[in-house]
């Protein structure tokens, strides 16, 4: 498998009231092209800190991250900004759309700001919004859209530069169950041919994690276990058995 993201002995230490607090402790992981990996752990276990280091949003105290062959620790601020805009798409729990802009404008804005005003960008924005089921809603503002529609706008925005890696932090945390499942299905589809994006998703919910190919369990800043849908000997189009396996492993690891 073609590895697009590689982390070695990744560590984050915060100074809190004069004392060192180790939020992430020596994490190793690899993400393959087209792979959907969920990082699952309780609140405060270090998931978001880990994701921020993987994407270069936050500097690691120690260790190394390599994305598409580029060592993040050796990048200056400009190089990091470019890497984040070209190689990584972000989807967050709060959709972080700009309220005065339409769905279409929200999707194209980051690329316009990067100086891309060509018809390829406009066509791709229209295509992605249509694929996200928003063909009819492109010219609405966020407040005229439902939560699930807003999150799909955010996904279209993340996908516009065609980044090899998508990172999502609790992307369904603000959605009802059914809408959340639809959004997860859309995210999962982007990992398939022909796009084959890689997806790293943070969650504390086994039902969400069950959409992934592989689940890494985090506790107190460390990866303490892993379960893959392929371990079950059935394909991950059937998330029910995988969710049960995740739940079982989670209870074992967290007890
Ligand atoms: N800037 C900071 N300074 C000090 N401590 C921090 C900082 N950011 C995070 N922490 C601590 O690091 C630990 C991990 O935080 P993190 O946000 O990564 O957890 P999380 O697993 O994403 O939790 P949640 O599920 O609640 O989002 C927590 O104990 C948190 O208080
Ligand atoms: Mg978090």
Which amino acids bring their CB within 6 angstroms of ligand 1? 14, 16, 21, 23, 41, 43-49, 204
How many angstroms separate the alpha carbon of residue 137 from the centre of ligand 2?
30
According to the model, what pLDDT value does residue 230 have? 87
Helix axes 119-131, 147-159, angle to 10 degrees: 140
How many angstroms separate the alpha carbon of residue 237 from the centre of ligand 1?
33
Nearest CA to ligand 1 atom 29: 44
What span, in angstroms and rounded, lies between the C-alpha atoms of 109 and 126? 13
- 108-156 pLDDT, tens per residue? 998 888 888 888 899 999 999 998 999 999 999 999 999 999 999 999 9
Does residue 178 register a pLDDT over 70?
yes
Pairing status of strand 88-91 against strand 70-71: unpaired
The structural domains of the chain, with segments of one domain joined by +, span 3-254
- 75-93 pLDDT, tens per residue? 999 999 889 889 999 998 8
Mean pLDDT confidence for 173-180: 87
Mutate to test the pocket of ligand 1, among 27, 40, 45 (most ligand atoms within 8 A of CB): 45
Does residue 102 register a pLDDT over 90?
yes
Classify domain 3-254 by CATH number: 3.40.50.300
Structure tokens belonging to residue 206: 């086994």
Alpha helical stretches, state H, 28-102: 47-54, 77-87
- 21-39 pLDDT, tens per residue? 999 999 999 999 999 999 9
Does residue 235 register a pLDDT over 70?
no
Q: Which ligand is nearest to the CA of 46?
A: 1
């Amino acid at each position: 498998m073609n590895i697009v993201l590689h982390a070695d002995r990744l560590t984050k230490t915060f100074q809190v009231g004069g004392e060192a607090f180790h939020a992430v402790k020596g994490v190793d992981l690899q993400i393959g092209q087209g792979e959907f990996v969920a990082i699952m752990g309780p609140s405060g276990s270090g998931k978001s800190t880990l994701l921020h280091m993987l994407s270069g949003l936050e500097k690691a105290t120690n260790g190394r991250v390599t994305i598409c062959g580029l060592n993040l620790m050796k990048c200056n601020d400009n190089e990091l900004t470019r890497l984040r805009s070209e190689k990584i798409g972000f989807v967050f729990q709060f959709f972080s759309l700009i309220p005065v802009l339409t769905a279409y404008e929200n999707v194209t804005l980051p690329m316009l700001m990067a100086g891309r005003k060509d018809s390829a960008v406009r066509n791709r924005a229209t295509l992605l919004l249509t694929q996200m089921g928003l063909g009819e809603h492109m010219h609405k503002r966020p407040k005229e859209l439902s939560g699930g529609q807003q999150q799909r706008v955010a996904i279209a925005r993340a996908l516009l530069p065609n980044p090899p890696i998508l990172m999502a932090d609790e992307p369904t945390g603000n959605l009802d169950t059914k809408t959340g499942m639809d959004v997860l299905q859309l995210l999962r589809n982007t990992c398939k041919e022909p796009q084959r994006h890689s997806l790293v998703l943070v969650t504390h919910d086994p039902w969400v994690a069950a959409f992934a190919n592989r689940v890494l369990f985090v506790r107190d800043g460390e990866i303490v276990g892993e379960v893959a849908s392929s371990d079950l000997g059935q394909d991950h189009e059937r998330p029910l058995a995988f969710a049960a396996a995740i739940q079982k492993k989670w209870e074992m690891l967290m007890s």
